[in-house]
């Protein structure tokens, strides 16, 4: 069985395009995971994407995860609420000063608490200043991401409110099936 999926690609072409969200109240902090950890990254990936059909990395082995995370300029920024991981942003530098926000989202228990806009704002700002932490990378000239009709109902609005502009739309048919959460069967 297949499902129709619409994928939207959005971009910012200048740091001035970013319209930051207000920081949420409470004890929320965002920190960079400076030590590449396939185990932690896979936890974040499956915990955030488990209920919204993230599957593209599930078949990767430990070594494949390690190779992705150890590429110069790849960064994972994690939001914590009272010390508990709430969500993350993974930045993927590409050629010619382009940075993709390749993964972004919140663990379901932390959605709807005003953390997402703040995390997206923070992660986008880190995409724009990536070359300051990675001098071998060229200055960022473009930040882009994609979202799809399987993502949360507030995803597109969050991207647009942060100043991202739509530049491409694609409709595809994809295989439908279960998507595991942080452990097999978590969202069964």
Is pTM beyond 0.95? Reply is: no
Does residue 184 lie within any of the structural domains?
no
Does residue 147 lie within any of the structural domains?
yes
**CATH code, domain carrying 13:** 3.40.630.30
The total of structural domains in the chain comes to 1
Look up the domain containing 43 and give its range.
Answer: 2-175
What pLDDT, on a 0 to 100 scale, did the predictor assign at position 51? 86
Does residue 118 lie within any of the structural domains?
yes
Does residue 45 lie within any of the structural domains?
yes
Each residue's pLDDT tens digit in the chain (188 positions)? 888 999 999 999 999 999 999 999 889 999 999 999 999 999 999 999 988 888 889 889 999 999 999 999 999 999 999 999 999 999 999 999 999 999 999 999 999 899 999 999 999 999 999 999 999 999 999 999 999 998 888 899 999 999 999 999 999 998 876 655 555 544 44
Does residue 188 lie within any of the structural domains?
no
Does residue 78 lie within any of the structural domains?
yes
Does residue 132 lie within any of the structural domains?
yes
Residue 135: count other Cβ atoms within 10 Å of its Cβ.
8
Does residue 187 lie within any of the structural domains?
no
- Read off φ and ψ for residue 76, nearest 5 degrees: -120, 120
Three-point CA angle 102, 45, 50, nearest 5°: 115
- The number of CA neighbours under 13 Å toward the Cβ of 68 is 18
């Amino acid at each position: 069985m297949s499902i129709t999926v619409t994928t939207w690609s959005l971009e910012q072409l200048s740091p001035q395009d970013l319209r930051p969200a207000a920081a949420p109240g409470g004890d929320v902090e965002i920190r960079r995971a400076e030590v590449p950890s396939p185990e932690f990254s896979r936890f974040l990936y499956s915990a955030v994407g488990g209920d919204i059909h993230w599957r593209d990395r599930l078949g990767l082995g430990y070594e494949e995860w390690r190779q992705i995370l150890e590429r110069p300029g790849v960064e994972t920024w994690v939001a914590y609420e009272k010390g508990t991981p709430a969500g993350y942003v993974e930045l993927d530098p590409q050629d010619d000063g382009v940075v993709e926000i390749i993964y972004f989202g919140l663990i379901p228990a932390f959605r709807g608490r005003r953390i997402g806009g703040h995390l997206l704002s923070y992660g986008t700002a880190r995409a724009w200043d990536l070359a300051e932490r990675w001098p071998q990378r060229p200055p960022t000239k473009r930040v882009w991401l994609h979202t799809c009709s399987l993502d949360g109902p507030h995803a597109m609005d969050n991207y647009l409110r942060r100043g991202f502009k739509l530049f491409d739309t694609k409709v595809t048919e994809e295989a439908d099936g279960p998507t595991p959460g942080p452990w097999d069967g978590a969202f069964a």
